[in-house]
Amino acid sequence: MSTSADSAGRTPSIARTAAELSAAIARALETAAPAQGAATLGLVPTMGALHSGHESLVSTARGQNDVLVVSVFVNELQFNDAQDFARYPRTLEADVAILARAGADIVFAPEAAEVYPDGRPLIKIDSGFLGSKFEGASRPGHFDGMLAVVAKLLHFAMPPATLGVPVSYRAYFGQKDAQQLVLINRMVADLNYPVEVRSVPIIRSAEGLALSSRNQFLTKEQATAALVIHRALSLVKERADRHEPLYLEDAAGLFEMEPLVELDYFELVDPRTLQELAFNCQDTPFTGEGLLLVAAKVGEVRLIDNMTLGY
Ligand code: AMP
């Protein structure tokens, strides 16, 4: 297995088309696959504008796979706001430099026409009720568009059947986008994708703000105000760790003290089904497992974050 030490610093090969990607994967696997046993291939889908959160995903995948592909594609289908799509940062050159450092073997950076040669797909993946709540309620169509591209990327990076040794195929996603992760796990299970989904924890700034490519649009004042998200999540997490009642409304009340931050939702759910859990009553100490989801708008920037409770 190649390690991050072997491949860190080498310029990754850049594939612009699906054919180039398949050829690059086949070549890289032939070189890196062990003589015996299964080879491993990791895929990390991103929209670029890479930060330390992405780097953590890439380094984790690097350490676990013989060959590592990172895709960089700003997927118009998952933007329900044309302005948000237009201004989404595109920084491929800087991204490739980061990916070289993090040890990616191949960067897949296709044009939209390569991914959607016939324009918007006519046949759609419906994210169902899991995709209609929380982020889906505020961003109609977002999750269908996200699943459309992930379904395609998983195909594009599929290991060749002709290698001679079996290839274990893994795809990596961040816990930062918790609802996305639940949906991708369901899609992979429901549509029998031959891939194992792996997740990595949220990377935050030293002050607690979850890293996001959109944070660069926050003023200093807004970024400071946005720390209320982490304060509210942590307050509930501390109560959960002590098996106390959670008093979600009281934690959500912290947002009222930050006029720059407009709370969208602050909700405790089952980590697998996203069904709301009620642990608010005075006499109900928290037990079991929960996922606390939050979304808020700071100026024009929508921020999401979450914390797992009871783990
Ligand atoms: P994006 O480029 O925003 O589509 O994100 C690409 C991948 O990076 C997704 O799986 C995200 O969940 C993950 N990611 C984004 N931000 C973070 C973060 N702060 N910590 C961990 N993973 C992240």
Condensed to tens digits (0 to 9), the pLDDT of residues 27-40 reads 999 999 888 888 99
* Predicted local distance difference test score (pLDDT) of residue 280: 61
pLDDT the model gives residue 7: 64
Q: What percent of the chain has pLDDT over 70?
A: 96
Does pLDDT of 67 surpass 90? yes
Specify the ligand 1 atom closest to the Cα of 57: 22
pLDDT at 4: 42
Rounded to an integer, what distance in angstroms lies between the CA atom of residue 99 and that of residue 10?
A: 9
User: Does 57 contact ligand 1 (Cβ within 6 A)?
Assistant: yes
Q: Is the CB of 176 under 6 A from ligand 1?
A: yes
For the cut 80, the answer to whether the pLDDT of residue 85 exceeds it is yes
- The Cα 296–Cα 291 span in angstroms is 17
Residue that is written with structure tokens 């005075």 in the block: 282
Q: Which of 54, 155, 230, 243 is catalytic?
A: 54
What is the pTM assigned to this prediction?
0.95
What is the C-alpha to C-alpha distance for residues 165 and 159, in angstroms, rounded to an integer?
A: 11
Q: Is the CB of 2 under 6 A from ligand 1?
A: no
CB distance 58 to ligand 1 below 6 Å: no
What's the pLDDT score for residue 2? 41
Is the CB–ligand 1 distance for residue 174 below 6 Å?
Answer: yes
Complete DSSP assignment for 191-221: TT-S-EEEEEPPPB-TTSPBP-GGGGGS-HH
- Given this model, what pLDDT does residue 178 score? 98
Q: Is the pLDDT confidence value at 164 over 90?
A: no
Tell me what pLDDT residue 241 has.
93
Helices 142-156 and 178-190: angle between axes, nearest 10 degrees: 60
If you measure from the C-alpha of residue 146 to the centroid of ligand 1, how many angstroms do you get, rounded to a whole number?
13
Asked if residue 162 has pLDDT above 90, the reply is no
Is the Cβ atom of 173 under 6 angstroms away from ligand 1?
Answer: yes
pLDDT at position 3 is: 42
Averaged confidence pLDDT in the chain = 94
Ligand 1 neighbour 145 (Cβ under 6 A): no
Using most ligand atoms within 8 A of CB, pick from 57, 185, 294 the residue to mutate for ligand 1. 57
Indicate whether 269 pLDDT > 60.
Answer: yes
Q: Which of 194-198, 247-251, 275-279 has the lowest mean pLDDT?
A: 275-279
285 CA → ligand 1 middle, Å: 32
Predicted local distance difference test score (pLDDT) of residue 35: 81
Atom of ligand 1 nearest to the CA of 201: 21
d(CA 280, CA 244): 10
- What is the average per-residue pLDDT within 174-182? 98
Q: Are 159 and 29 in contact (CB under 8 A)?
A: yes
The closest alpha carbon to 297, from 268, 246, 235, 255, belongs to 255
pLDDT at 1: 41
**Active-site residue flag, 54:** yes
Ligand 1 center to residue 13 CA distance, Å? 22
Dump pLDDT digits (tens) for 108-161.
999 999 999 999 999 999 999 999 999 999 999 999 999 999 999 999 999 998
If you measure from the C-alpha of residue 173 to the centroid of ligand 1, how many angstroms do you get, rounded to a whole number? 7
pLDDT of residue 252 exceeding 80: yes
The rounded Å distance from CA 201 to ligand 1 centre is 10
Q: Is residue 209 lining ligand 1, measured as CB closer than 6 Å?
A: no
The Cα–Cα gap between 196 and 119 comes to 29
